[in-house]
Chains A and B, each alone.
Chain A
C-alpha cells in the first residue's frame, strides 16, 4: 500500500481514502485497545477516539517512521487517557509505592492462543494490565512508563513484576488444565 499517497488523499479530505486507512488499521488497532480495556464496548470507544485523533493529527505525520507504528502510538496514548478519564478505571490506576518486587526468571512457554492470552491480560487489575501492556508488549522502558502514567520508575518496575508473576501463574494453571484435558482424552 502506498502510504504516502493515502496520507495525502486523507489530508485532502478524500473520505474514501480515510475509509481505506481506517479499514487497513482498524482490526489490529482494536486488538490494541482490547488489551488495555475491560470490555469490547470500551475498546471500540477507544478505537473511535483514537482514529479521530489520527485523522486530526495526520498532518503531523512526517513519514520518518512507519504509519502503522504512528497510529499504534496514538491508540496507546488514547487508551491511557481513556483509562485516566473514566472512573471505573481511575481507582485501580492509583499506583501505590510498594516494596520493589523482583522480576522472576520464570519464562514459561506460552501455549495459549492469542485471544486466550489477551483475555488473561485483561483480567489483571487495571494498573498491572496497563504497565504490563506498555512494557511487555509495546516495549516502553520503565522510565517512559513512569512519565506516561505520572509515577516513578520504581513503582512501574514493581507493578510490572507483580503483573508478570500473576500472569505467569495463570498461564501455568491454564496450561496444566489444557494438558490434563489432552491426556484425559481416549
Chain B
C-alpha cells in the first residue's frame, strides 16, 4: 500500500503557512457582520432632534401655564368701612360682611381649613405687583404676603394655616393706589392674585391652593455648553501621537516589517453639547440634577495624501495597500504627512447625574459648584486610527470603546434673567474610560473644557 510520506511532509509544511491580511479585510468583515447596527444611526438622528425640540417646547409651554402655583399666601386686611372679610373658619367659605363704618379697623379673622374661596370678582392675571412698591400704600401693608404658601387663581384653597387680616389699609389709600385688582406677589415668586374691583366690598384675594410647605419637586430645563475637546493620556496631559493600531504587535505574521513610528500630535478642537435637564432640590443648599444630552467632540490631526483606490502592484507597496477589489469599499485611507488637517469627530449621547451645591447665600448672584458623572455612548464617529504596520490612517469603528464613563465639574453663577434662571460657568469633563478599546495603560481619554449653561424656567424656590 502506498505510504503517504510525501503527503504528510507537505501537510506538515503547509500548516505553517501564514500571512498577515490587510486591514481592509477586517474592515469589510466588521461592516458586513455589524452592518445592521450602523444603519440605525441615521434613523436615530432623524428622530432625536425633533424629539428634543418637542420636549423642550413642551416644558416651556407647560411651565408657563402652571406658573400660578407658587408658594405664597395673601393676607388681606381692610380698614374700610365697606370692607368685607375673608373669613369663615367653620365652612371654609368666604363671606362678605357688611361694612362696619369708615375708619373702623375691620379685619377678617378666622381660619380657612381646606375650604373654598368664592367671590364674584374677576381675576387679573399676569401682572405682578410687589406689595412693597405699590404707590400710595401705607407702611401697614394692605396686603401682606407670607412666604411658603401658594395662591393659584380659580383653585380651591388647601391650607391648614390661618389667614388673618392682621395688617390694615385704608380705603383711601387703596383708592389712591387705584388698584384695578389686588395682585400681590412676593418678589421671588410670580404669584397671581385676585383682583378687587371695588374696595367697598372686601373679597377674597384669591381662590387658589395654598401650599404651606415648600415642595422639592423636579424642575425641567435646558442645558448646553461650548468649548474645546481633546484626547488626553491623563487629566491634563495630551498624548504625543494619534491613537495607533497596536493590536497584536508581536504577531509573527507581520511581514511588512516592524512597526513604523509616527509622531503627529492631536490638536484640540471644537466641542459642544445640548440637552434637557431635571433638577430636584434636596435641601436649601443641595440639588440633584439628571440630564440627557448630545455631546459633540472633535480633535484634529495631520494626515498625508488620500488613497482612494488600490495601487496597481501591491507587492511594491506596504502590505496594507494590498487591498482586494472588494475591499476597495473600505477606502479612502490616508498616508502619513502634513498635506491636510483631518477632524476626528465623535458624537455621544450622555446621561449625566450630578449634585449642585450652592456655595453662598446671595440671592442676586448665587454661586454653584456642580460635580457628577455621566454615562455616554458613541453613536457615530469618523475618527482615523493609525496602522503601525503599514503607516497609514484608516477608519475602524471597532477600535473604539463605545460606552464611556465621564466625570465632570463646573463652577457656575446664577443669573436671574426675565423669568428664567440662568446658570453659567466653566466646566471640565474627563472620560475615565479609554476611548480606544485596546489602549491599555496608554489609553487616550476624551477631555472637554468649556462653558456650561443651564436654563431653568421660573424664578426658583
Given A45-B325, A48-B324, A136 contacting B11 (CB threshold 8 A): yes
* Chain A residues within an 8 Å CB radius of B11: 136-137, 139
User: Could you tell me which residues of chain A, from 14 to 32, have a CB within 8 Å of some CB in chain B?
Assistant: 15-16, 18-19, 22-23, 26-28, 30-32
Chain B proximity of A99: nearest CB distance (Å): 19
Chain B proximity of A92: nearest CB distance (Å): 21
Of the candidates A40, A55, A105, A164, which one forms a contact with B29 in the assembled complex, judged by CB atoms under 8 Å apart? A55
Of the candidates B19, B33, B253, which one forms a contact with A52 in the assembled complex, judged by CB atoms under 8 Å apart? B33
CA distance in complex: A15, B33 (Å):
9
Of the candidates A19, A41, A42, which one forms a contact with B398 in the assembled complex, judged by CB atoms under 8 Å apart? A19
* Chain A residues within an 8 Å CB radius of B398: 15-16, 18-19
Interface pair B20/A27, CB less than 8 Å apart: yes
Within 8 Å of chain A (Cβ to Cβ): is B47?
Answer: no
Please report the total number of B residues contacting A with Cβ < 8 Å.
Answer: 44
Within 8 Å of chain B (Cβ to Cβ): is A168?
Answer: yes
Within 8 Å of chain B (Cβ to Cβ): is A94?
Answer: no
Of the candidates B17, B18, B30, which one forms a contact with A18 in the assembled complex, judged by CB atoms under 8 Å apart? B30
Most central of A105, A114, A115 by chain B CB within 10 Å:
A114
Within 8 Å of chain B (Cβ to Cβ): is A110?
Answer: yes
Within 8 Å of chain A (Cβ to Cβ): is B43?
Answer: no
Interface pair B14/A35, CB less than 8 Å apart: yes
Within 8 Å of chain B (Cβ to Cβ): is A109?
Answer: yes
Residues 1-34 of chain B, each 1 if its beta carbon lies under 8 Å from chain A, else 0: 0111111011101101111111011101110111
* Chain A residues within an 8 Å CB radius of B364: none
Which one, B107-115, B244-252, B271-279, is touching chain A? B244-252
* Chain B residues within an 8 Å CB radius of A135: 7
* Chain A residues within an 8 Å CB radius of B248: 23
* Chain A residues within an 8 Å CB radius of B17: 28, 31-32, 34-35, 114-115, 118
CA distance in complex: A115, B19 (Å):
10
Interface pair B25/A26, CB less than 8 Å apart: yes
* Chain B residues within an 8 Å CB radius of A108: 6
Within 8 Å of chain B (Cβ to Cβ): is A56?
Answer: yes
CA distance in complex: A105, B19 (Å):
33
CA distance in complex: A20, B14 (Å):
24
User: Could you tell me which residues of chain B, from 218 to 269, have a CB within 8 Å of some CB in chain A?
Assistant: 247-248, 251-253
Within 8 Å of chain A (Cβ to Cβ): is B327?
Answer: yes
Interface pair A51/B16, CB less than 8 Å apart: no
Within 8 Å of chain A (Cβ to Cβ): is B314?
Answer: yes
Within 8 Å of chain B (Cβ to Cβ): is A107?
Answer: yes
Of the candidates A28, A44, A52, A118, which one forms a contact with B327 in the assembled complex, judged by CB atoms under 8 Å apart? A44
**Least CB separation from A10: chain B residue:** B33
CA distance in complex: A47, B2 (Å):
34
Interface pair B28/A114, CB less than 8 Å apart: no
Within 8 Å of chain B (Cβ to Cβ): is A100?
Answer: no
Interface pair B29/A22, CB less than 8 Å apart: yes
Interface pair A51/B14, CB less than 8 Å apart: no
User: Could you tell me which residues of chain B, from 309 to 336, have a CB within 8 Å of some CB in chain A?
Assistant: 314, 322-327
* Chain B residues within an 8 Å CB radius of A149: none
**Least CB separation from A46: chain B residue:** B324
Interface pair B325/A27, CB less than 8 Å apart: no
Within 8 Å of chain B (Cβ to Cβ): is A148?
Answer: no
**Least CB separation from B27: chain A residue:** A48
CA distance in complex: A139, B25 (Å):
28
User: Could you tell me which residues of chain A, from 38 to 86, have a CB within 8 Å of some CB in chain B?
Assistant: 40-45, 47-48, 51-52, 55-56
* Chain A residues within an 8 Å CB radius of B327: 44-45, 48
Interface pair A109/B19, CB less than 8 Å apart: no
Chain B proximity of A170: nearest CB distance (Å): 12
Within 8 Å of chain A (Cβ to Cβ): is B352?
Answer: no
Of the candidates A18, A32, A43, A110, which one forms a contact with B33 in the assembled complex, judged by CB atoms under 8 Å apart? A18
Chain A proximity of B40: nearest CB distance (Å): 13
* Chain A residues within an 8 Å CB radius of B7: 135-136
Interface pair B26/A19, CB less than 8 Å apart: yes
User: Could you tell me which residues of chain A, from 91 to 113, have a CB within 8 Å of some CB in chain B?
Assistant: 103, 105-110, 112
Interface pair A27/B34, CB less than 8 Å apart: no
Chain A proximity of B12: nearest CB distance (Å): 9
CA distance in complex: A121, B253 (Å):
21
Within 8 Å of chain B (Cβ to Cβ): is A125?
Answer: no
Within 8 Å of chain A (Cβ to Cβ): is B55?
Answer: no
Interface pair B251/A40, CB less than 8 Å apart: no
Interface pair B30/A15, CB less than 8 Å apart: yes
Chain B proximity of A29: nearest CB distance (Å): 8
A42-B324, A44-B324, A118-B17 given. 11 additional CB < 8 A pairs? A16-B438, A19-B30, A26-B21, A26-B26, A40-B314, A44-B327, A45-B326, A109-B9, A112-B13, A114-B17, A117-B10
Residues in B lying within 8 Å of A, measured CB to CB: 2-7, 9-11, 13-14, 16-22, 24-26, 28-30, 32-34, 37, 247-248, 251-253, 314, 322-327, 397-398, 437-438
Q: List 9 A-B contacts (CB under 8 A).
A: A22-B26, A31-B18, A45-B326, A52-B29, A55-B33, A110-B6, A117-B13, A135-B7, A137-B14
